[in-house]
Amino acid sequence: MNGSTSKRETYAGFLMVSPWFMGFAVLTVYPFLASLYWSFCRYDLLSSPKWVGFANYRRLGSELLAGETLALAIGNTAYFALLSVSFSVIMGVLLAVMLSVEVRGRAVFRTLCYLPSVVPIVAAAVLWIALLDPQQGLVNGLLVKLGLPAQGWFHSTSSALWPPSWPEDHAGRILGSKDGLVLMGVWSVGNLLVIYLAAIVDIPPQLYEAAELDGANRLRQFWHVTLPMLSPVVFFNVVIGLIHSVQAFTQIYLVSDGQGDPAGATLTLSLYLFLTAFKELDMGYASALAWLLFLVVLLITIWLFRISQRWVHHQGAA
Amino acid sequence: MNKRYPVWWTFFTLLLVSSLMAAPLVWLVLTSLKTPEQLASEPYSWWPRPFRWQNYADAVNSIPFLRYLANTLLLCAGNVLGTLFSCSMVAYAFARLRWPGRDTLFAVLIATMLLPWQATMVPRFLIIRELGLYDTLGALIVPKFLGEAFYIFLLRQFFLTVPQSLIDAARLDGCSELGILFRVMLPLCRPALLTVGLLEFVATWNDYGGPLLYLNDPERFPLAYGLEQFISSHSSELNLLLAAAVLFTLPIVLLFAVLQRAFLSGMATTGLKG
């Protein structure tokens, strides 16, 4: 390559990357810095931002310490994110392993398991609000038929895995709105299935043959071959899944009447941020919340990469 | 014997799980065809008696369905066009051109994928408003012409696989870099363009947050947002509500059915033939 060619490449490169760079500067960098500045201001969109120092962050801290709205939102976010990701990963891996076995009708099973994940989120929300209706819903009908207690779902503030949220005389009615959201998420696990299936197919068959020679049964093969070989993909999906569920918005907005109903049980950090900005018009506090959300996502990512060394199996040069 | 047992166990587990996964969709379609009388009557039965196809006509007529559909299609066209144009150009610059700062900027591009959209939501909203785009479809379309990190990354991976000799030959023939992109790269990377176009189409079709934030005039609502307006006004007529949901879902399911191979090819090339 001579000098003129690389000059030509430089010009062309700058020119062709410019749309993204403009968008990056105007729609990412500037907003990022502006929201940092506004998080130190009182700003209601009607008058210009007024510097108030750390007032927004003090409010953030006091809400958190006093167990007020923000603490509730963080608790809801953590519950939803942890449960969604764990159930999706467990369901995803187990289903993918079963779907990789050559059984009769495998193509049909794959299609049926994948199908829910292409249903648009608005339609899925309409569907699940109807299915989980406490009185007329199909799911409660099924539970009652099986002799189990009907659940409150999107009308209940209870959380199945958080006993303090259970009502006094619950009699087994412990599944609430967040559990409904988790169920909706698990139903659309199909996207993950595609990824896990591809990863399972890539596992060299020699590993299973060697394990069989060593006398390992199917369960041990799953534990000692499939899982370690899948761990990088699982890790990737845990990172992406956590980041996505911390930011999840649409389905939560839709099942909660756009305000975290019932009684704030579905008020997550992202919904709280949205309502603060566009219902309260408190852009200053919303910006502080946005920065909190950003730091939460950043810390989750760093933490996951730290612990990944311990349990992700990296293949040597193959 | 030892080998057959797990296969049968797997078969029945899959049968159960698949039925549970499919049941909500079967229920959705069947319930959308029931009469209001049947919905109110006991005991419960799955099968519509009689089939009331009129529900679909009623659902379409009780909201400006065609208006919303037109808005959605306009958005999809604009967004797919904008995304393909900007992302392929930027991806080419990152994949096949050497210029100072390229690798640093690419690392920055990857990092932006981790940034939560809420972190920049408020100032973004104000910029769009300042540009006079609030309450226009442009608020949703214009940013798409500025590229999106994930698609740029995806296309770059594809562009890297095109042999350098083709690019060199085009350059010797006096082809400009834009010419190389449009005459050499894009024709060779059609499957990748199809994947990106499809992903963006579906994302636009499904998008609810964008219209919620930027649109105010019902004349401009896309289907995803209009459907929700329908929910709040018709929450008692379950059959119509679900008919609208079916109409909204069907095109996407069909799109995936037809383009499944193209769509999945980017993610997994083997093992999906069943």
Q: Residue A261: give the domain boundaries.
A: 69-311
Q: How confident is the model at residue B142 (pLDDT cuts 50, 70, 90)?
A: very high
pLDDT surpassing 50 at residue A305? yes
B108 with A100: Cβ contact below 8 A: no
pLDDT given at position A102: 87
A122, A250 in Cβ contact below 8 A? yes
Please report, for the domain that includes residue B178, its CATH number. Answer: 1.10.3720.10
Please report, for the domain that includes residue A224, its CATH number. Answer: 1.10.3720.10
Q: Answer yes or no: is A39 within a domain.
A: no
Q: Beta-carbon neighbour count of residue A102 at 10 Å? A: 8
Q: Give me the percent of chain B exceeding a pLDDT of 70.
A: 92
Which helix (H) or strand (E) is A174 found in, with range? Answer: none
Alpha-carbon distance of B29 to B48, in angstroms, equals 10
pLDDT given at position B22: 96
With a CB-CB cutoff of 8 Å, which residues 42-71 of chain B face chain A? Answer: 44
B262, B171: one domain: no
Q: Mean of the pLDDT values across residues B45-71?
A: 91
Alpha-carbon distance of B125 to B139, in angstroms, equals 9
B37, B136: one domain: no
What would the pLDDT profile of A132-191 be if each residue is shown by its tens digit? 999 888 999 999 999 999 999 999 999 999 888 888 888 888 999 999 999 999 999 998
pLDDT given at position A217: 86
Domains: count for chain A = 1
pLDDT given at position B37: 86
B74, B203: one domain: yes
What mean pLDDT value characterizes chain A? 91
Q: Answer yes or no: is A83 within a domain.
A: yes
CA-nearest residue of chain B to A279?
B213
Q: Answer yes or no: is A229 within a domain.
A: yes
B32, B146: one domain: no
B184, B258: one domain: no
Alpha-carbon distance of B207 to B202, in angstroms, equals 8
Phi, psi of A41 (to 5 degrees): -125, 160
B94, B147: one domain: yes
What would the pLDDT profile of A16-71 be if each residue is shown by its tens digit? 999 999 999 999 999 999 999 999 999 998 889 999 999 999 999 999 999 899 99
Ranges A73-87, A168-182, B110-124, B246-260, most confident: A73-87
B77, B126: one domain: yes
Q: Is the peptide bond before B222 cis (omega within 30 degrees of 0)?
A: no
B211, B121: one domain: yes
Q: Answer yes or no: is B124 within a domain.
A: yes
What mean pLDDT value characterizes chain B? 89
Alpha-carbon distance of B205 to B244, in angstroms, equals 14
Q: Answer yes or no: is B19 within a domain.
A: no
pLDDT given at position B62: 84
Q: Is the peptide bond before B50 cis (omega within 30 degrees of 0)?
A: yes
The residue out of B184, B199, B224 marking a domain boundary is: B224
pLDDT given at position B171: 92
A93, A113 in Cβ contact below 8 A? no
A20, B109 in Cβ contact below 8 A? yes
Question: Is residue B96 exposed (0-12), middle (13-18) or buried (19+ Cβ within 10 Å)?
Answer: buried
Q: How confident is the model at residue B268 (pLDDT cuts 50, 70, 90)?
A: very low
Of B256, B140, B92, nearest to A111 by C-alpha is: B256
pLDDT surpassing 50 at residue A1? no
Q: Give me the percent of chain A exceeding a pLDDT of 90.
A: 70
B205 with A108: Cβ contact below 8 A: no
A261, A160 in Cβ contact below 8 A? no
pLDDT given at position B264: 65
pLDDT given at position A318: 37
C-alpha to C-alpha distances, A49 to A61, A252, A290, B210, nearest whole angstrom: 22, 30, 17, 25
B114 with A35: Cβ contact below 8 A: no
The predicted complex's ipTM stands at 0.89
B212, B248: one domain: no
pLDDT given at position A139: 94
Best mutation target, B4, B30, B88, B97, to test chain A (most A CBs within 10 A):
B97
Best mutation target, B69, B118, B167, B234, to test chain A (most A CBs within 10 A):
B118
With a CB-CB cutoff of 8 Å, which residues 14-33 of chain B face chain A? Answer: 14-15, 17-19, 21-25, 27-28, 31
Cβ–Cβ contact A28 with B under 8 A: yes
Q: How confident is the model at residue B263 (pLDDT cuts 50, 70, 90)?
A: low
Best mutation target, A11, A17, A119, to test chain B (most B CBs within 10 A):
A17
B127, B207: one domain: yes
Q: Could you tell me how many CB contacts below 8 A there are between chain A and chain B? A: 253
Q: Residue B47: give the domain boundaries.
A: 26-62+235-274
Token code pair at residue A279: 């219902």
Domains: count for chain B = 2
Q: How confident is the model at residue A315 (pLDDT cuts 50, 70, 90)?
A: low
A195 with B86: Cβ contact below 8 A: no
What would the pLDDT profile of B151-168 be if each residue is shown by its tens digit? 999 999 999 999 999 999
How far B52 CA sits from the closest chain A CA (Å)?
19
Number of H helices, E strands in chain A: 15, 2
Cβ–Cβ contact B154 with A under 8 A: no
Q: Answer yes or no: is B11 within a domain.
A: no
Whole-prediction pTM value? 0.90
B87, B205: one domain: yes
Q: Answer yes or no: is B5 within a domain.
A: no
Q: Answer yes or no: is B13 within a domain.
A: no
B119 with A10: Cβ contact below 8 A: no
Q: Answer yes or no: is B15 within a domain.
A: no
B99, B210: one domain: yes
Alpha-carbon distance of B32 to B211, in angstroms, equals 26
pLDDT given at position B231: 75
What would the pLDDT profile of A94-141 be if each residue is shown by its tens digit? 999 999 988 889 999 999 999 999 999 999 999 999 999 998 889 999
With a CB-CB cutoff of 8 Å, which residues 189-218 of chain A face chain B? Answer: 194-195, 197-198, 200-202, 218
